[in-house]
Structure 1
């Protein structure tokens, strides 16, 4: 894995259908400015991750599991637009909170945490293209992240000195490293 640091991205499409949330956790072929570079996710990038166990969390908090692919409460698929999800919310405090905020249209959007396997990315200047993504979790974001650029801007292209420094800073911020 490149650098071994879990990366996160944010998207905004989310809709309710009873106790089910649906939408896109990521879109393909859209340019996103991530700190000092531009990133694009190619179609098929999540294909290998769809066979694994992926969690659905509230605000990237592993103590607030909302569902998972292994149990069937989270369903993920790729289509021409991106990584689609359908999540059956649990009758827990976190699930009820997520549903109430979604019904009021108060949620900040969606995010996902991932690793990039070796050979899963390419760089041309300041443009990063992701061909393969090791998806670990998708998250419903109840508000805008406290530090929207922190975990994104501190990533380095290589796992050298900058990568080590980045992992230490992310660990101090409580991000997965």
Structure 2
């Protein structure tokens, strides 16, 4: 996940891969026992082509403004990009508390296999994508809930994947330019840079005198 906080702290952009298709999940569990799962290539693309509304949420609960939400499936997986103006989410980003992405879906079509080692494997071929969530909690790949729609009970499943990026990359815009700088400096690094800057300023003053 990449997070870029605007200089005025009134908005931020967030992007990255929500799920990598064709890759094994962590070990999941259902009533029968453990299994691993893959979202098949093309499943997200087909879901997005259905043009159903996909909500942007915070921790699967708080609905965020999703007018600027962009979703697409490429050869890696489902990629998201959004502009967020919610103060709670921006505050969590300021504290570097964001942990990654998750998504909620309803299975439309899947198939199962058991490999030579006896591991049950689920392949999700088609799905209804309900929402993508920004998380400030450690992602857990498995979760479910039951909802009622048209007098039928449906199983809504939530998944969080390990991102390709190494954690969350926080970037902050400077006030004077549109250039960005990473906020990964330690307090010690910032102290050294501050002292070096002051030394240069003093040296320039002495040369003018």
Give yes or no for TM over 0.5: yes
Q: Which runs of 5+ in 2 are unaligned?
A: 7-11, 115-119, 147-152, 159-209
Q: Which runs of 5+ in 1 are unaligned?
A: 1-13, 156-163
CA RMSD in angstroms, aligned pairs only: 2.7
Q: How many residues align?
A: 133
Query: Structure with the greater relative contact order (CA < 8 A, sep ≥ 6): 1 or 2?
Result: 1
Match of 1:84 among 79, 95, 104: 79
Match of 2:143 among 132, 147, 151: 151
Q: Which runs of 4+ in 1 moved over 2 A?
A: 99-105, 148-152
Q: Secondary structure at the match of 1:136?
A: strand
The TM-score normalised by the length of structure 2 is 0.56
1:57-76 equivalences under 5 Å are: 57-61=57-61, 64-68=62-66, 71=67, 73-76=68-71
> Post-superposition shift, 1:122?
0.7
Query: In the TM superposition, what whole-angstrom CA distance separates every residue of 1:111-159 from its partner, at most 9, and x where no partner exists?
Result: 1000011xx21100210011112100011111136xx47736x99xxxx
More strand by share: 2
> Post-superposition shift, 1:104?
4.0
Q: Which has the larger radius of gyration?
A: 2
Q: Secondary structure at the match of 2:126?
A: coil
Query: In the TM superposition, what whole-angstrom CA distance separates every residue of 1:73-104 from its partner, at most 9, and x where no partner exists?
Result: 211000111100011102xxxx2222232344
The TM-score normalised by the length of structure 1 is 0.65
CA gap of 1:81–1:102, structure 2 versus 1, over 3 A, is farther
